[in-house]
Structure formats: C-alpha cells, structure tokens
Chain A
Amino acid sequence: MNHCLLHIVVSILVFLANVVGNTCFAQHLENKATGTVKNAGTIRFKSDSGKFKNGAVQASFTNNVIEFAGSDNTFTDLTGNTVNSTAFGQDRAWRVPGLVRYKRAPGTQNIQARFYTDLGLSDTAAKFVPDSVYVGKEYTITRSGPRTYRGTFFYDGSLQQVVTQENGLSGTINRYNNLTLLFSPKLVQDNDEIRMEGIFNSDSLSEFFVEGQMFQGSRSFSRAPIRVRSSGSLTTGWDISEWYADVEVIDGLVVIPDDADTVTIMPQAKLILNNTDSARFFMGDSTRLDVLGLYSNLLPPLTNAVFDTSSLVNYDGIEQPQVMQATAASNPYGHLRTARTIKTSVGDVYVASTLSVHDTNVVMIPYRMSLKLADAIYYNDAEVVGAFRRDLTGAVADVAYRFNNEQTFMKYVTSPAELTMDVRPITRPNAYDSTTDVFRKITVTYVGTWKATVRAGYKFTDIPTTWVPETSERLMKMYNAFGQPNERAIKLTPTVPPTYARRAVNGGPGLGYAELYGIQDVGADNIRLDNANDLLLRASRDVLKAVASGRWSNPFTWDEAREPEPIDRVVIDGFTVHTGYVRTNDNYVIAEAFPDSMAANVLIGNGVNSTLLIGSTGAFNTFSLVPNSRVLLRSNRVGTSLIPVGVQDLTSSDLDGGLVVYQGSTFITPNLTLAPAATAFNGGVLQVGLP
C-alpha cells in the first residue's frame, strides 16, 4: 500500500510539473532572419507577455490583422529590443503593416509605442496609449474600455486620414493629450467630436478639414490650412494658438473660447470667413487675436463675426500697409490694437471698447473708424487719418473723448448723439491761407446739439514753409472754416476772453495743439462750428484786443488769451488796462514780459473807460513801446473824470481817462497822437519820440 501511495504522489507531481511546464512556455512568434510571415487572416497573441519577434527584413512580413489580447504584447527583435533593430514599428521604415488590434476584456492593456499602419482598440479593458503612437492609415476604437493618452499621438499617413473621435470632457481619458498631424490631409468627420488636452501640431502637408467638432487643448501650431466646412467647428485651446497657414471657414464656426490665450494669424496666413451666413467666427471673453497676416470676412453684412467686448484684435503685421477687416455696427470689435506698419481698412471699422494705435498711422480713408465712449490711446505720435466717429450716447460731461490722435479730443458740456472728426494731415483745409494756417484738414460732422472744449492736434509736418515771420504757433487760434463756393473762416471766440490752451511743436516731434472752451453747434458766428465745416488752425498775428479790464501782462485781458508781444498791434476800447503794478480787479502779479517793447502799435478807443494806466512796482517803473520811429500810440478817448496821478489806483473799478502815467513811472512812445479832446494824465515821465 505504501508503494501504491508513493506511486500516486510521484505521478501527480510529474503530471503537475508537465502542466506547469506547458503553461510557462514562451508564447511568441519568432520570425527569424530567413522567415516570412504572410498573414492574410488574423494572428492573435493571447498571453500577456507574448511578443512578435522579428529578425528578418521588413518585407518579410505582410499582414492583415495582428491581434494583441494580452496586457503587454509587443513587437521586438529576436533579442527583445524594440528600437534600432528589426523590430516592427520601431520607425516609419519599419511600420507595422496591416492592422494591429488591441483587444482585451479584463483589466488593462498597454499599447506599444509604434508606427502602425492601422491601429484598433476594442473590448472592455482600459487602454494606456503612450507617447509616440503613430498611425499611418486608420485608428479605430470599437467598444473599447477607457483610453488614457500620454505624450503625443500622431497621424502620419501619406493619404488623407480621419482623426478618430475622442471626446472626453477633461483630462486625458478618452481624450487625446498631444495630437500631431503629418504628411497628408486629415479630416474630422461630420458628427464626430475631437477633444484634446495638450498640444496640437500639424505640418505643412496636413491640411485639416473640420466637418465635425474640433476642440484643441492647450497650445496649437498649425502649419497647413485648416478648413472648417459642413457645419463643423474649431475651438482653439486655452493656451496660445499659432496659425502658420490659412484658416478658412467655409461653412461652420471658429471659436476662440473665453479666457483663451492669444491666437496668432502668422505672416502669410489668413483667417477667411466665406461669403455666407454660416461661415462664422466668435471671440470670447478676454481673448486676443494677433493678426500678423490677414483677417478677411467676405460676407458683406459682416454679421457672421462676433467679438466679446473684452476681446482684443491686434493688427501687428509687417505688411505695408496691413489691411484691417471692417466690422458691422452690430458686431463691433471689442478692443482694437494696431502696431508696427500703417493700417488701412476695407470698410468701416466699429469698435465697442478701446482703440490703441501704436507706432504708425491708421488710414481710414475713405471709410471711418467708429468708437463708443471707451478710450482711444495713441503711442509714438500715431494717428487715425480720416473719419473717426464716436457714438456719444451716454457720454459724461467733462470727460475727454479722444478722436484721431493723442491731442485731438472733446470734453462736452452738452454731448451730441454722435460726432465725427475727419482728420487729414498735410491736406488743404477750407479757407486755407498758406502764410498763417496749419496744413491739416479737420472736418467736423455731428448729429445732435453739443457744446464742448475742443482740442485739435497737429504736427510739425503740417506747418508749411510759407508761413510769414509774424505767424507763430503761440498765436494758434481756431476758426470755423466754410468750404466752396464761399470759402471763409470765422475766428472762434466763444468766451471773453477765450480760454485757449496751446502747445507748440517748435519743429520737433510730437503733437502740438490748440484747445478752446465753449465751441458749440449753434449760436453766434464766433462760437459756432457748423456741421461739416472745417476746424481751421490759424496762427496769424491779429490785432490784439482787450476784452477785459486787467493787467497788460495778464493773458485773459486779451482776446487771444496772451500778453501782447513787441510785434503786436493792440486795441484798448471800453476797458481799463494797467501796466507795471497790481490792481484788485485781477490781482495779477506777473510782470510784463516786454516792458521796453510792449507793442508795435496801441490804439486807445473812444469807448467809455478806455484807459491805459502806466504804473510801477518799485524799480520796475519804465515802460516803452517798440523803439521804432513808426511806432505809435493813439488815444481817442475823451476822459470823463479827472484821474489823480499822484497815487496809483489799486481798486477794481474801471477808470475813464485815456492815457494815464502815474507819479514814479515812465512811459516812452516814439509817436503819440491824441484825438481832439482826448485826455492824457501824466504824473510821472511821458517821453514821446526817440532819444
């Protein structure tokens, strides 16, 4: 019996050893150097570690289907190497022919990083797709468990390929990580949805047809045209996108989603919206489109492009000029930025938010730039040349609404519904006088009633060489200039005195300006700028008229809001002007700038209180007209009161005395003419004639 039991034990051990031995075989296909494998059917690897080992030349293997059912099946050479050998799929030259199908139900399955011709994933096991999986023809997913992508998945066939749907909503499960398209056109099929997490790349041969929905992940770099058609849609990623080739929207939608980083149309590339309502473009909240190439919307109503008000379109190309795409009033750009080269437009450009113009001009002729209330910001003296319209609905009083350049704006007391300034540098304005005027045409058109402070800028290049010596930027004034057939210019003096502010360019860079308060659309000739007339800048030296009682040196005593200069002719009529000391009517303490050459000519008119008082402050006590034999002071005023000349009158009251020289003061005029009965009171020194 013991012998019997021993025999049983030995037999069972031998049996088990054989069974275990059988199941522990290597379970590969080893195709050695002389072998050929012609597989028109299916060769299936069922063990987890089964390998297709190859030691023969690449042509030794033809294939219909290799099916990997294990968890870690691979292609290797005879020694187990996967690269730099005879392993199938190690590179493009050794691409695995036919279909490699990973088909497994339980657990997980690792896809080998290979160059496949066709690749299929099926059955319920989770699939891990590593970096550097290349598919030359078809990638099919058939009732597969979840796919997790790592690294980059490549479509690198030489004939058109379909990009297989993967549309997981986040992460890299059932959703491509990086995706690269190479060597041939690629297609997102109608009704398919492609989503990815990482970087999109395409080479110059991989024209990309989007008929379904394509959602890019982070960055994207497309080097071949993208054509969106058949109601497809392309949504850029959250990081930057660079389009090195055209993006054509034939029938579908391109979306730059909210908060995405910059999308750049590279030089030579175009974003084209075809002439159909169904070719659409949308820029979301806080997005940016850099146009280094061209953006072109071929649908005339332009309503197929929608820009969030916080979006930015940045024309930053090097083409000279770079052409900007027009927008619809109902679908304006959000923010608009221009830089680098001169910009032109193919139509009216509407902007909902800000305009920033860098480096060079934007030439809108014959169209117009249209903003609402947001800022227009200029750098490097750039301008918008041509019509610049503002929709001023809701405009706030006393806020500067800038128009064509940094120094051209209006601050409204009353704002119109809209106002356009058409500014054209180096262009003849209405009623132009080449000896005195700025060669810049500023045409103002408007809808609605308005009153404003108006500032108009100009450049040194607008100042002609034909100005006469008496003309000076310091004298710059604004005129309401009428065009043909009755060209004329009326000086604007809306207030007394006019409140001019000026900055001269003095031959340098930058913008000079003249600014005047109180111009409006209606009213007397001297306060009104008529609709469609030019705002003329004239720097002539006009006769300077006192428009208020005050000190000679006080700009606001005079109609041009400046102190008379030696070359000026001056009229004092109906006002009391004092020199050399302070009176309480204006308490003006700044001394006269030209005490020894006050003016070239002075006329004291015959109006009541027409008086010139010559006083002194300490040693500052001698005043003279220009010492030239032709210089004259003429007084027509017949004073109605006796002016005490022993003590300077410090009050704010007007005096009616004609010419008055106080004790302790000296006044010199080369010529003095007193009209009949005109009065002159002298308590100091009155010197007539040149020594």
Chain B
Amino acid sequence: MLHLLLIAVTLFSVTIGASAQILVNRGAIIHVKEGALMHVNGNTENRVGEIRVYDSAVVEFNGDVRIVTGGLYMLKNSLVTVVNNLSIDIAGVCWRYDPGVMNVFGTIFNDGDLNNDGEINIGTP
C-alpha cells in the first residue's frame, strides 16, 4: 500500500515538472463553464482554437501554457493559474477580463496580444 502511495507521489512529481504536452488544442473551443474546476497537470498548447474560462470557474495549468494562435479568455471572477510560463505567440491572444485574477508563477512571454482588464500576478513573492 505504501509502495502504491509512493508511486502516486512520484507520478505527481513527474507530472508537474513535465515538458511534454498534456493538453493540446488543435482547433476546439474548450469551455470551462461557470463555476467549474479544471486542472491540467502538464503543459498546455493551444495551437488553434480557444480556451474560454467562464464566470467563477477555476483553472489551474500545472505546467507551461503556450498560445500559438487563438486565445485564452478569462471571464468574470474566474481564477486562472499558470504554474510555469505563459507564452503567447504572435497570433495568440490572452485576455483577462474584469473582474478576476490570472496568476502566472513563471514568466509571460508575449509575442501576441496580452490584454488585461482584471489582475495578472506574475511570479511569487
């Protein structure tokens, strides 16, 4: 039993430090609906399409997020956390609407459009 627990811990550790894509969007619109919770334990790459985080939803990206095209839209009172870096490519959009918070524990690399009407926190104390 203890062994199984340790394996689980190990897997978790590997997941949050992983570099391989876990979530790749090739054209879909991912709706995180009002009040929903979403955890991505790995990197996220939005190649085409959108990720829409609706009112009061909570999304935690436990890895890097890259928006190649399309966008990441965060609506009212949603809370989005990027544990690693957020990259916005030249055709990408990241839009934090008001009110609401987006936390990026790493760096935001912006080649596209970064729009913020709410709060964006970069880094950790």
Contacts and interface: CB of A to CB of B under 8 A. Distances in A.
Interface stretch (A45-53, A257-265, A383-391): A45-53
Given A41-B119, A45-B123, A29 B107 contact: yes
A18 interface: yes
A15 to B, nearest CB: 4
Given A4-B2, A15-B9, A35 B122 contact: no
A70 B13 contact: no
Contacts of A40: 98, 115-117
Given A18-B13, A45-B122, A38 B107 contact: no
A14 B8 CA distance: 13
A29 B110 contact: yes
B13 A15 contact: yes
Nearest to B103: A46
A44 B121 contact: yes
B96 interface: yes
B109 A30 contact: yes
Contacts of A14: 10, 13-14, 17
A48 B123 CA distance: 9
Given A11-B6, A18-B17, A40-B98, A35 B114 contact: yes
A639 B121 CA distance: 130
A59 to B, nearest CB: 14
B112 interface: yes
Given A17-B17, A41-B96, A47-B124, A27 B105 contact: yes
B77 to A, nearest CB: 13
B107 A22 contact: no
A22 B116 contact: no
B120 interface: yes
A7 B88 contact: no
A79 to B, nearest CB: 14
Nearest to B8: A11
A34 interface: yes
Contacts of B114: 29, 31, 35-39
B15 to A, nearest CB: 9
A47 B104 CA distance: 11
Contacts of A43: 116, 119-120, 122
B118 interface: yes
A34 B112 contact: yes
Contacts, number: 132
How many chain B residues sit at the interface, stated as a range, is 35 or more
Contacts of B14: 14, 18
A28 interface: yes
B112 A11 contact: no
Nearest to B123: A27
By secondary structure, the A interface counts as mixed
Contacts of A35: 88, 110-114
Nearest to B86: A29
Interface centre among B16, B96, B123, B125 (most CB of A within 10 A): B123
Interface in A19-33: 21-23, 25-33
Nearest to A105: B125
Contacts of A69: 125
A64 to B, nearest CB: 8
Contact of B3 (A7, A31, A37): A7
A32 B106 contact: no
Contacts of B3: 4, 7
A41 B6 contact: no
A18 B98 CA distance: 33
Contact of A8 (B6, B17, B85, B122): B6
Given A4-B2, A45-B122, A25 B106 contact: yes
B90 interface: yes
Contacts of B48: none
B116 to A, nearest CB: 5
Contacts of A17: 17
Interface in A86-102: none
A673 interface: no
A18 to B, nearest CB: 4
Nearest to B85: A25
A38 B125 CA distance: 24
A42 B96 CA distance: 10
B84 interface: yes
Interface in B67-107: 83-85, 88, 90, 96, 98, 105-107
A37 to B, nearest CB: 5
B123 A50 contact: yes
Given A22-B84, A42-B119, A44-B119, A27 B111 contact: no
Given A18-B16, A37-B114, A38-B114, 7 more contacts: A15-B9, A15-B10, A35-B113, A41-B98, A42-B116, A43-B120, A47-B122
- Leading 9 A-B pairs by shortest Cβ distance: A27-B123, A47-B123, A18-B17, A35-B110, A25-B106, A15-B13, A11-B10, A46-B123, A41-B118
15 contacts: A7-B3, A7-B6, A11-B13, A22-B84, A27-B122, A28-B107, A31-B110, A35-B110, A35-B114, A39-B116, A41-B116, A42-B116, A43-B119, A46-B121, A70-B123
